Structure 1
């Protein structure tokens, strides 16, 4: 159970939280004003590579990296958030007029009207629930599907979470810059922030955490996201995620300060009584001494949480190698962040 020097009380607090999470491998990490505390454990035997040194699948937390890339291109004048999506793609024969009104901002904020996943992918999942349909879904197919998909509502009028929508940022940004999305993300986000342990592809044997199904014992192969990479393909070490959250807490210390500030600006309200806010990429909830921001993600065998409270300079990272609500990782991590925001740690 590694801990940061000078943080014994917080380490014990994280160790207690760790006991609430049921997963083969778990990492909980907190950064407070730049001081880090990391604990790890799990129900499985410790792997040969220490858990905090492994790379974990982030699932939908990947969206925050993609939208930060989008924001960086926007603040540098290479595109506008309000550009129509179709203006940033190869020419497509659209079947529905509403599709032409979708902007890049709509994709980032889940207000495009596009469904969560394409209908054909959903049907595959219903027929073969343990099959990874993403892996065989290429960019050409994604664009064809977009061209014939009718948005459920007028773009910009309602919030509806969409992996489909965020995935379209991949071909849009690649077409705009002439650089493939993985290379673009690496050059514009990962390298400037010093995220050397973050990638979109599996690493060498022993460097990546192994996911498990809901039973906590059945291993799951590494998740190939195909054309949905922008929505869920990023993998990162806990150390890199701490560095990433610290960049959001203290943007002026990074080369991406303008983009990091831009992705934290509240844009729309949602949830019960509209108490919760959505920025360009983060969920924003009320908390003591100011709002907190967070995002979660899951693949077929892993879960991830990242959240931060700007007012106290606090960030929380949580990772687990099990998929399922009974794991309790997301709830535990969120409650930890909320408590730290209120009591000063």
Structure 2
């Protein structure tokens, strides 16, 4: 039995098992203030008004927003599920919070969970040499495998540190991201939406052709190639396609009936919302030259980013994972705490009192100047960064398939979240939860062109998880 309440663009659903009462106030108009908002009463948080305001700002254009056509959100907290939406204007079709979308790199959590199940079963070790498992997969032709600027190749002399399964999981392998290859981008741009049907080895070859970016374990380079390689590891040790193993081990046990790994099937399951991409076109003077982007071949993502899901399924997944339903305690702890010990550096020195360590930033140690300083001297800063976004700073670290985000809220309190971002043609998605899975949030934008994406993400997370 469920009781559903709808107010403006938010909907709250409480299960009959929940006995704790909660005051839900009607959604109120929130004024966008360039220098931040005053402390938000608890009742406003119960109605999710701060998050609704952030969704409206992200989809809005009047306050300097990027005009994303629509944004959806789903939260879970204390037995209560809530959904909300934001749209650019009254003429934009209202998004359905239950419709499917391409969750892109959120796939990495599913792939990492499957690998760690295999670790728990003794079928593979985090310290296994990838070459020992897969053979010379990173040097399959004379061109692939060498870095032209350094001369380093994927055939190090005996005694050199190997690329391990752990390195792949935490992006410390030094293997180049194939989506950073200009040839791959040019091919995608010229053929979209009829993208080529990529095999895993083709994607790995594109990444390997740039050679090592650094010695294994000595740096941080976010690379989709790492997770395509992990898909190959899953296939090698189980004898089954990686997608079948993820489905059997994760998707089916949790009853995620709207989550699929579509292989090379280009059609998004219906009914679905509209999606639009601007990745492959220049930003226009008066807006974005976007085009439809619901249907395209997801093989370019593979084990790194092919998944299609819904907000409901993703909330179920992250809560189950962090509650220990998918991994033994030892592997779950490793997933959350075995962080990449190096970073790409922060964009400038942290401000006094802001706990951002440049040596561990991945690659973001983002400070909100409107709240962290008395007055922001950055006149180019879009006003919508600050609309109902009560955060001072956010630092991200990468574990074994999970991103750990530490938010310093406006009142100085901190919130630690675990999850992942996902970006693909026409869709940007975010899945984050507190460490025990008791409070979770899924966000999806049906446009891929926010100019200040990390500020937008940090603001929406803070609107939900910061208390003032």
More helix by share: 1
> Using the alignment, how far apart are the partners of 1:74 and 1:185 within structure 2?
14
Instruction: Sort the Cα spacing of 1:321 and 1:130 in 2 relative to 1 into closer, same or farther, 3 A.
Output: farther
| Residues 213 and 322, structure 1, Cα contact 8 Å, conserved in 2 | yes
- The correspondence of residues 35-50 of structure 1 with structure 2, limited to 5 A, is 35-43=80-88, 45-46=92-93
- The correspondence of residues 44-193 of structure 1 with structure 2, limited to 5 A, is 45-46=92-93, 51-89=96-134, 92=137, 94=139, 96-98=154-156, 101-117=162-178, 121-126=181-186, 129-132=189-192, 135-142=196-203, 144=205, 150-193=211-254
Q: For structure 2, which runs of at least 5 residues remain unmatched after alignment?
A: 1-8, 15-21, 25-45, 60-67, 140-144, 146-153, 279-287, 347-357, 362-395, 408-412
**CA-to-aligned-CA distance 1:17-42 (integer Å, 9 cap, x gap):** 22012222321112123422111242
> Using the alignment, how far apart are the partners of 1:205 and 1:67 within structure 2?
25
Q: Which residue of 2 aligns with 1:263?
A: 335
Q: Which residue of 2 aligns with 1:4?
A: 13
> Using the alignment, how far apart are the partners of 2:179 and 2:443 within structure 1?
29
Shift of 1:136: 3.1
Q: Which residue of 2 aligns with 1:220?
A: 293
**What TM-score do you get using the length of structure 2 for normalisation?**
0.64
Q: Which residue of 1 aligns with 2:312?
A: 239
Instruction: Sort the Cα spacing of 1:239 and 1:107 in 2 relative to 1 into closer, same or farther, 3 A.
Output: same
Shift of 1:226: 2.0
**CA-to-aligned-CA distance 1:54-112 (integer Å, 9 cap, x gap):** 11101122111111111111112111111111222256584532498211111111111
Q: For structure 1, which runs of at least 5 residues remain unmatched after alignment?
A: none
Choose between structure 1 and 2 for higher RCO, CA contacts under 8 A separated by at least 6 residues. Answer: 1
Partner secondary structure for residue 69 of structure 1: helix
Partner secondary structure for residue 58 of structure 1: strand
Say which one has the larger Rg: 2
Instruction: Sort the Cα spacing of 1:52 and 1:290 in 2 relative to 1 into closer, same or farther, 3 A.
Output: closer
Shift of 1:293: 2.3
| Residues 322 and 437, structure 2, Cα contact 8 Å, conserved in 1 | no
Point out the more displaced range, 84-93 or 231-240. 84-93
Point out the more displaced range, 167-176 or 99-108. 99-108
Shift of 1:115: 1.0
Partner secondary structure for residue 397 of structure 2: strand
Q: Which residue of 2 aligns with 1:286?
A: 406
Q: Pick from 397, 407, 421: which aligns with 1:296?
A: 421
Instruction: Sort the Cα spacing of 1:26 and 1:157 in 2 relative to 1 into closer, same or farther, 3 A.
Output: same
Partner secondary structure for residue 28 of structure 1: strand
Instruction: Sort the Cα spacing of 1:40 and 1:116 in 2 relative to 1 into closer, same or farther, 3 A.
Output: same
> Using the alignment, how far apart are the partners of 2:239 and 2:398 within structure 1?
30
Shift of 1:243: 0.8
Q: CA RMSD in A?
A: 3.0
Instruction: Sort the Cα spacing of 1:130 and 1:65 in 2 relative to 1 into closer, same or farther, 3 A.
Output: farther
Q: Which residue of 2 aligns with 1:337?
A: 461
> Using the alignment, how far apart are the partners of 1:28 and 1:230 within structure 2?
25
Partner secondary structure for residue 82 of structure 2: strand
Shift of 1:134: 6.3
Partner secondary structure for residue 97 of structure 1: coil
| Residues 110 and 162, structure 1, Cα contact 8 Å, conserved in 2 | yes
| Residues 67 and 280, structure 1, Cα contact 8 Å, conserved in 2 | yes
> Using the alignment, how far apart are the partners of 2:245 and 2:199 within structure 1?
18
> Using the alignment, how far apart are the partners of 2:302 and 2:261 within structure 1?
8
Q: Pick from 306, 317, 325: which aligns with 2:442?
A: 317
**What TM-score do you get using the length of structure 1 for normalisation?**
0.85
Q: Is the counterpart of residue 19 in structure 1 residue 61 in structure 2?
A: no
> Using the alignment, how far apart are the partners of 1:37 and 1:77 within structure 2?
40
| Residues 320 and 437, structure 2, Cα contact 8 Å, conserved in 1 | no
| Residues 289 and 341, structure 1, Cα contact 8 Å, conserved in 2 | no
| Residues 404 and 418, structure 2, Cα contact 8 Å, conserved in 1 | yes
**CA-to-aligned-CA distance 1:224-254 (integer Å, 9 cap, x gap):** 2326411110111110011122124422xx2
